[in-house]
A and B are shown apart, each in its own frame.
With several copies, the nearest count.
Chain A
Amino acid sequence: MLEFKDTVAEAVADVQDGSTVMIGGFGNAGQPFELIDALLQSGARDLTVVNNNAGQADEGLALLIKEGRVRKMICSFPRQSDSWHFDAKYRAGEIELELVPQGNLAERIRAAGAGIGGFFTPTGYGTMLAEGKETRFLDGKWQVFETPIHADVALIKALKADGKGNLVYRKTARNFGPIMAAAAKQTIVQVSEVVPVGGLDPENVVTPGIYVNTIVKVG
């Protein structure tokens, strides 16, 4: 049942210790900073976080990692010039890393939302990241078996929601939002604007409200 919350603290109040949390965003675009800050404040710990990166500078996901709340990262590109908090935890052996090619990350998240139990993809064949994985020759190519990534919670950022929970995004901030919304048991969305039911053109809805549980207006 869709709920509109007044504060980000209320929006993330039900996130449990030990949860797998998907966090939208590619770099800073689409990263739900306010929800992440609220998650930090909530004290939730022992989290597995799914995000393309592993935090940048001293904000958002980077702080969650710094504070030791993240047990494991599932991501494609942890190492950046400003990923110092992740780097420190990783070198200290205090955080687990599952490194996933970005397309496999996206497709595995999509598979979870779409009810696909696993799929074969050419990406990664013959590389370190496919070591120990099942391979099969299909459609003229060697392919690697990959499995879905499910989550308990998704924290995402959209531009607008209507009263039914339908979402639209803005430019490249769309990125992982729509597929994470479908892959998580509970999807929590921060938006810049809430419009009445009927305020979004049905042709242009990107995430239908069926994938959304909680909405909070931010800023």
Chain B
Amino acid sequence: MAETSTSAVPSGTAQKTSDTPLGRDDLARLVARDIAPGSFVNLGIGQPTLVSNYLTEEQNITLHTENGMLGMGPEAKGDEIDPDLINAGKIPVTELPGASYFHHADSFAMMRGGHLDVCVLGAFQVSAKGDLANWHTGAPDAIPAVGGAMDLATGAKDVYVMMTLLSKDGKSKLVPQCTYPVTGVGCVTRVYTDKAVFLITDDGVRVRETFGVTFEELAELMDVPLR
């Protein structure tokens, strides 16, 4: 599911489109802008759900939630809260006109059958080949929990990851090889980080744009060859 090769474009020419690294909201806005009109999208849980705040009516995006709904609206507030209407993160949400409900096997058939155009997920690590690690730290005492992560990673036409480029100890989370247990193999097509947007292509990792760093400064931070 790597992106179409962009080898016609000379490598290492990514522009710095922001003088500072992007905050979570700016990054969410950027992801939202990149989603094609009319798409069916799943935003997983946690940080990627911020993307929904920046989708415009004109884009006509339909949101899917794994627990059985298309046409999910914003988080429910006050009187809107209904315990029978929640999202994958178990947060009360609302229903938009044109919504539909279905059972779990139908919902996951939709995800696994390649019908979602885009899903946006968080990650611990992404490899240069597009392997995703976002479900398990690998710590021996951790209680594992996977939810729908593997189905989303494997099923969506495009898998976008949103994460900070560096871990708390300053290491790049876009890595030559995942050291955490993987969620899916070769599934990620784009990585949106605070410092750059990366395209995972058949020709390697291409930098689309950088934020607050130059291409060369970015390359210094990482062990992955960039184009």
Mark A residues whose CB is within 8 Å of B: 1-2, 26-30, 52, 76-80, 83, 86-87, 90-91, 97, 99-107, 109-110, 112-116, 121-129, 142, 162-164, 166, 169-179, 182, 197-198, 200, 202-203, 205-206, 208-211
Contact = CB atoms under 8 A, between A and B. Distances in A.
B173 to A, nearest CB: 18
Interface string B142-158: 11111111110011000
A107 B101 contact: no
Interface of B: 37-38, 40, 62, 64-71, 82-86, 90, 95, 97-105, 107-116, 131, 136, 141-151, 154-155, 181-185
Contact of A26 (B67, B100, B113): B67
B86 A76 contact: no
Contacts, number: 206
B145 A78 contact: yes
B69 A172 contact: yes
A182 B131 CA distance: 27
Contacts of A99: 144-146
Given A28-B83, A78-B145, A102-B108, 6 more contacts: A91-B143, A101-B146, A169-B101, A179-B104, A205-B100, A210-B110
Contacts of A30: 84
Contacts of B66: 102
A103 B113 contact: no
Nearest to B64: A210
B101 A174 contact: yes
B148 to A, nearest CB: 4
Contacts of A163: 98
Given A182-B113, A202-B71, A76 B104 contact: no
B113 A113 contact: yes
Given A77-B145, A99-B144, A102-B66, A1 B38 contact: yes
B101 A171 contact: yes
Contacts of A77: 145-147
Contacts of A209: 62, 70, 98, 100
A103 B111 contact: yes
18 contacts: A27-B90, A77-B145, A78-B143, A83-B143, A102-B66, A104-B151, A106-B105, A106-B108, A113-B115, A115-B114, A122-B112, A124-B150, A127-B183, A172-B85, A178-B103, A202-B69, A208-B102, A210-B110
